[in-house]
Amino acid sequence: MAGLGFACLVLALVVCVYGIGASLYGVRSGRPEYSESGRRSVYALAGVLSVAMLVLEIAFLGNDFAFNTVADTSSRTTPELYRAAAVWSSQEGSLLLWAWLMSLWSSLALFLTRRRLRDVAAYATAILLGFGGFFVALMVFYANPFATTHPAPPEGVGLDPLLRFPTMMIHPPMLYSGYTLCTIPFAFGMGALLARRVDADWIKAIRRFAFAAWLFLGIGILLGALWSYSELGWGGYWGWDAVENASLMPWLTGTAFLHSLMIQEKRGMLKVWNVSLVLATGTLAIMGTFLVRSGILDSIHAFGGHTLGVPFVCLIALMITGSIYLVVSRREMLRSEHRLDSLLSRESIFLANNLVLVGLCFVILWGTYFPLISEALTGQEASVGPPWFDRYTVPLALILVLLSGIGPVIAWRRATFANARRNFLAPLACGLLALAGLEIAGVTQKPLALVMFCFAAFVFGSVGQEFFRGTRARRAMASEPLPLALLSLVRRNRRRYGGYIVHIGIAVLFVGVAASSSFQHASQLSLRPGQSTRVGAYEIRYVRPTVTITPRYDEAHTGSTVSFGGLLDVTKNGHHVATLNPSEGFYASEEASQGSVGSLIGGQPVSHVAMDASLTRNVWTAIEPDIETPSLKRIITAGNNTLPPSEALVAIAYLARAYLQHPPPTQFNFLVSPLVFWIWIGGLIAGGGGLIAMWPAGGWAAYLVRRRVAVRSRARALRGLARA
Amino acid sequence: MNPARKRTVRLVVALSAAVLLASALIYTSFSAASPALTPTQLVHEAQPGRSYELTGTVVKGSVHREGNVLDFAVADRVGGTSVPLSYTGVVPDPFREGREVIVNVEKQGDRYIGENNSLITKCPSKYKTAPPSENQNA
């Protein structure tokens, strides 16, 4: 099996090399049949890598520990669901996932453009195959997922318990889809420059893919934040960690591009800017992959060794120099067809939004790579923390939200005073109303949060007004009932109204971020059973300790040996609110030196957070039970000395009894965060809006109808020809 | 003013604003940054009241909890100097003796205090510790 997998990789490399040669030869010599063959190589690459992925997946599900990756990241005790996801928990497996997803998305992109953009697509094919070849070569020469050891070890070391969370199934594939989709606009942008076809056609062709990249990256980022909040014991959703930042940067430039491309389509302006954004997004996506895969910066996501740095640096250098050379050498072709008419126009608001987004990206880029920059300039490695990031990103985010409210209602070309009065009265009233309401409610201690709430209300007002006016116009025109009018309004202008829904979602998300970060109550303390503490308006009492012994089938089915927890009673003003049971799961380790009992629980402990979520607030609790206390440690040592591994589980029962009868003081971590749920709701709204905006016009039904009409008219034309 | 000249002026204004903002950014990043030090460097270079990012491994047998305060010592990766410190705040799940950690510390008198919630455990994988990087003393 491993042989088959590796053969697939070698074949994939051959396919890439052939495909690059064929498509370049085809476009250079004007022989489209070769470019065609190059395009088919991408399909072939997708096929071959699918087989490779399947081989690896079968090895993981079948516990084939002869595979080094399986032995390193999976085990018989790892639940099946997580064994399937363990494929991408290793360096090697995630490179394969990257290459595989890239080949699939590229195939789709090239299939959809097969009748258009011949020259551009041929160059794009070569570039996409270049990326594919790069990743396949990394696997063939540096990190082979199909490396084996004989004889096979009887058991693997298991998937890191931190990764045993349902999101593990979707977060990495989503992020990787986002990253790989970013390379498609990059490839077509480069292709357009190389082929000197820089009109709006290539932009139209890749618009949907830029959107998809934006959507997948966004979903991946949010899922990561959700994972961090609901699994890791620190209760945060964003920490300005290098790997988080790496995924946010291409998303920001991608967002900028999705706005500025409209100006190129509508007015033929900003061509240099657009193509630069596309190239930057692709480069940032590869830089993100590099940052994650090389371990060059300190991060809580320490995935890999330091082996893949040099090839990636070469690739990134090539992408940057290639991009700059092409943009500079084609600058004459990229001249704007129009000039900015006025600073008060939708174009200039889009431009401002682009500048803010790119500025935000630059701030994050600088902060993320600061340890390297500082070391290069001063010889001293130094890093900047979250406060530094917040200082710049908070005001920029405020401006961004404000602009997202102005953009939809300001006129194209030149806004007049009458126009402004007509369009801005209602949104402004919403913002001021929110301000007044919040003043009365007494929410004035945090001015920045207050400003964010008012700006968000402004956005709701401006987008709501657009929906209201559009629906009213439709009702007047087609005399449809209200829901139908709203629906057909959105259906007929998917991009526009989908985009507006995204604005609503982002504003909602920022309300959640501002509220939960500014008005959070936190408490970390040690409690004995019966003791209680106050967190915000809530009284939390530690009722009693709990233990679950679950060698295979624990509640969340993550395969922990035992979890120690505490039962908490949450009340507000004497009224019962919730009963929560946070716990910490202890997992087996493969280190025999820890003893027969010690190795049953000596692996990575993982928090199982318990929370009571509602739309207005979230009571979040985590526990750090201390199993190092002398009374428990005595049992472990005694068990290690007397019990063989087959009977070691008995000691766990004693451990549980001792913990329940004489519970040690236990460390708790409590958070009460207002409106935090709205971050996820905002994300869902934005994602839904994104889907609406990128959905093919008219949907599949309309596509089929169009196709049938096309086939029929072609048949008719043929009949006509035959008759003639 | 003719349109071409107006555009140039506008460009110059925009560019100088960008340059100003960028230099503010660059300046603050250098002044706000915490130098990354190993325990040996910290012992020699630390000035009271300044924040440093300390990287090293948790010394075996040094971890004690006193109520909310977690006391532990951080040593150079290759052994040698160790720095005892008191830390309050969230302790990441993977925190263990012998693990590599990053924590922001400040020197107060002759003691080192870990900044609240700044503790990061570097390698979440229990089995594959990241190989020590070549430039660890940089």
Residue A542 near residue A570 (C-beta atoms within 8 A)? no
Is B112 inside a domain boundary?
A: yes
Residues B74 and B98 in one domain: yes
In chain B, how many domains are there? 2
Could B130 and A305 be called an inter-chain contact, meaning their C-beta atoms sit closer than 8 Å? yes
Q: Which residues of A touch B90 (CB under 8 A)?
A: 233-235, 524, 669
Alpha-carbon distance of B54 to B72, in angstroms, equals 13
Q: Dump pLDDT digits (tens) for B90-124.
A: 887 778 787 888 888 988 877 889 888 888 876 54
Alpha-carbon distance of A399 to B84, in angstroms, equals 44
What count of residues does chain A have?
724
Could B138 and A362 be called an inter-chain contact, meaning their C-beta atoms sit closer than 8 Å? no
Q: ∠A175-A53-A250 over CA atoms, to 5°?
A: 20
Q: Look up residue A5 and give its two tokens.
A: 């997998």
Residues B42 and B94 in one domain: yes
Is B8 inside a domain boundary?
A: yes
Is B87 inside a domain boundary?
A: yes
Q: Dump pLDDT digits (tens) for A128-139.
A: 999 999 999 999
Residues B53 and B100 in one domain: yes
Could A388 and B102 be called an inter-chain contact, meaning their C-beta atoms sit closer than 8 Å? no
Q: What is the SS3 string spanning A632-647?
A: HHHHHHHHHHHCCHHH
Is B58 inside a domain boundary?
A: yes
All domains in chain A, ordered by first residue: 1-160 (1.20.120), 521-679 (no CATH)
Interval A323-327 mean pLDDT: 94
- Residue to mutate among A74, A384, A393, A517, with most B CBs inside 10 A, is A384
Taking alpha carbons only, the member of A119, A139, A127, A135 closest to residue A32 is A119
In chain B, which residue's Cα lies nearest the Cα of A379?
B138
pLDDT value of residue A145: 94
Residue A553 pLDDT exceeds 70: no
Interval B65-80 mean pLDDT: 82
Which amino acid would we find at residue B40? Answer: T
Q: Dump pLDDT digits (tens) for A469-520.
A: 999 998 888 888 888 889 989 988 899 999 999 999 999 999 999 999 999 9
Q: Which of A215-219, A364-368, A642-646 has the lowest mean pLDDT?
A: A642-646
Residue B82 pLDDT exceeds 90: no
Q: Which residues of B touch A305 (CB under 8 A)?
A: 130-131
Residues B64 and B82 in one domain: yes
The continuous run of DSSP H or E covering A543 comes out as strand A538-549
Residue A205 near residue A108 (C-beta atoms within 8 A)? no
Residues B79 and B116 in one domain: yes
Could A233 and B89 be called an inter-chain contact, meaning their C-beta atoms sit closer than 8 Å? no
CA A118 to chain centre: 32
Residue with tokens 């050379």: A325
Could A374 and B94 be called an inter-chain contact, meaning their C-beta atoms sit closer than 8 Å? no
Alpha-carbon distance of A635 to A379, in angstroms, equals 51
In chain A, which residue's Cα lies nearest the Cα of B33?
A384
Could A669 and B90 be called an inter-chain contact, meaning their C-beta atoms sit closer than 8 Å? yes
Q: ∠A243-A211-A90 over CA atoms, to 5°?
A: 35
Sequence-distant (≥ 6) Cβ neighbours of residue A170 within 8 angstroms:
A223
Taking alpha carbons only, the member of B34, B92, B39, B115 closest to residue A385 is B34
Domain span at residue B106 reads 36-121
Q: What pTM does this model have?
A: 0.90
pLDDT value of residue A296: 66
Min Cα distance B110 → chain A (Å) is: 23
Q: Dump pLDDT digits (tens) for A261-311.
A: 988 888 888 889 999 999 999 999 999 988 887 766 666 665 555 567 888
Could A234 and B90 be called an inter-chain contact, meaning their C-beta atoms sit closer than 8 Å? yes
Alpha-carbon distance of A664 to A528, in angstroms, equals 7
Q: Which residues of B touch A526 (CB under 8 A)?
A: 65, 67-68
Min Cα distance A82 → chain B (Å) is: 16
Q: What percent of chain A has pLDDT over 90?
A: 57
Q: Which residues of B touch A380 (CB under 8 A)?
A: 35-36
Q: Dump pLDDT digits (tens) for A175-184.
A: 999 999 999 9
Residues B64 and B109 in one domain: yes
Q: ∠A391-A393-A394 over CA atoms, to 5°?
A: 75
Q: Which of B93, B123, B127 comes nearest A233 by C-beta?
A: B93
Min Cα distance A6 → chain B (Å) is: 24
In chain A, which residue's Cα lies nearest the Cα of B14?
A355
Residue A185 near residue A257 (C-beta atoms within 8 A)? yes
What is the greatest pairwise CA distance in chain A? 100
Task: Identify any residues that bridge with A566 across adjacent strands, giving them in sequence order.
Answer: A545
Could A234 and B92 be called an inter-chain contact, meaning their C-beta atoms sit closer than 8 Å? yes
In chain A, what are the helix, strand and coil shares in percent, each to the nearest 5? Answer: 65, 10, 25
Q: How far is CA A617 from CA A469, A512, A678, A684, in A?
A: 34, 10, 9, 18
Alpha-carbon distance of B31 to A31, in angstroms, equals 59
Is B84 inside a domain boundary?
A: yes
Alpha-carbon distance of A477 to A370, in angstroms, equals 57
Alpha-carbon distance of A598 to A584, in angstroms, equals 16
Confidence of residue A676 (pLDDT cuts 50, 70, 90): very high
Backbone angles phi, psi at A545, to 5 degrees: -80, 160
Q: ∠A410-A413-A414 over CA atoms, to 5°?
A: 65
Residues B52 and B12 in one domain: no
Q: Which of A39-43, A147-151, B29-33 has the lowest mean pLDDT?
A: B29-33
Backbone angles phi, psi at A67, to 5 degrees: -70, 125
In chain A, which residue's Cα lies nearest the Cα of B118?
A385
Residue with tokens 């032995």: A71
pLDDT value of residue B133: 32
Compute the mean pLDDT over every residue in chain A, rounded to the nearest whole number. 89
Q: Which of A391-405, A415-429, A451-465 has the lowest mean pLDDT?
A: A415-429
pLDDT value of residue A452: 96
Q: What percent of chain A has pLDDT over 70?
A: 94
In chain B, which residue's Cα lies nearest the Cα of A295?
B130
Residues B29 and B13 in one domain: yes
Residues B29 and B43 in one domain: no
Is B44 inside a domain boundary?
A: yes
Could B126 and A160 be called an inter-chain contact, meaning their C-beta atoms sit closer than 8 Å? yes
Half-sphere exposure of A525 (CA within 13 A, CB side): 15
Is B133 inside a domain boundary?
A: no
Q: Which residues of A touch B91 (CB under 8 A)?
A: 233, 624, 667
Question: What stretches of A561-662 adopt beta strand conformation (E)?
Answer: 562-572, 575-580, 583-586, 606-608, 610-613, 617-624
Better-scored residue on pLDDT, A337 or A35: A35
In chain B, which residue's Cα lies nearest the Cα of A373?
B30
Residue B41 pLDDT exceeds 70: yes
Q: Which residues of A touch B134 (CB under 8 A)?
A: 306
Residues A201-208: contacts with CB under 8 Å, at least 24 apart? A201/A116, A201/A117, A201/A120, A202/A117, A202/A120, A203/A261, A203/A264, A203/A265, A203/A274, A204/A265, A205/A112, A205/A113, A205/A116, A205/A117, A205/A120, A206/A109, A206/A278, A207/A261, A208/A694, A208/A696
In chain A, which residue's Cα lies nearest the Cα of B126?
A604
Residues B49 and B94 in one domain: yes
Q: Look up residue A48 and give its two tokens.
A: 């071959």
First to last CA, chain A: 60
Alpha-carbon distance of A636 to A601, in angstroms, equals 10
Confidence of residue A186 (pLDDT cuts 50, 70, 90): very high
- Residue to mutate among A78, A375, A593, A604, with most B CBs inside 10 A, is A604
Q: Angle B3-32/A346-368 helices, nearest 10 degrees?
A: 30
| CATH at residue B89 | 2.40.50.140
Residues B14 and B65 in one domain: no
Could B122 and A298 be called an inter-chain contact, meaning their C-beta atoms sit closer than 8 Å? yes
Alpha-carbon distance of A101 to A175, in angstroms, equals 11
Q: Which of A304, A392, A589 comes nearest B25 by C-beta?
A: A392
In chain A, which residue's Cα lies nearest the Cα of B68?
A525
Min Cα distance A158 → chain B (Å) is: 9
Residues B15 and B49 in one domain: no
Provide the 8-state DSSP code for A297.
S
CA dihedral A138, A140, A143, A145 (to 10 degrees): 130
Query: Which residues of B touch chain A, with CB atoms under 8 Å apart?
Result: 3, 7, 21-22, 25-26, 28-30, 32-36, 53, 55, 63, 65, 67-68, 88-94, 102, 104, 117-118, 120-128, 130-131, 133-134, 138
Q: Which of A339, A363, A669 comes nearest B25 by C-beta?
A: A363
CA dihedral A713, A716, A718, A723 (to 10 degrees): -160
Handedness of CA B28, B31, B34, B37 (dihedral sign): positive
Is B135 inside a domain boundary?
A: no
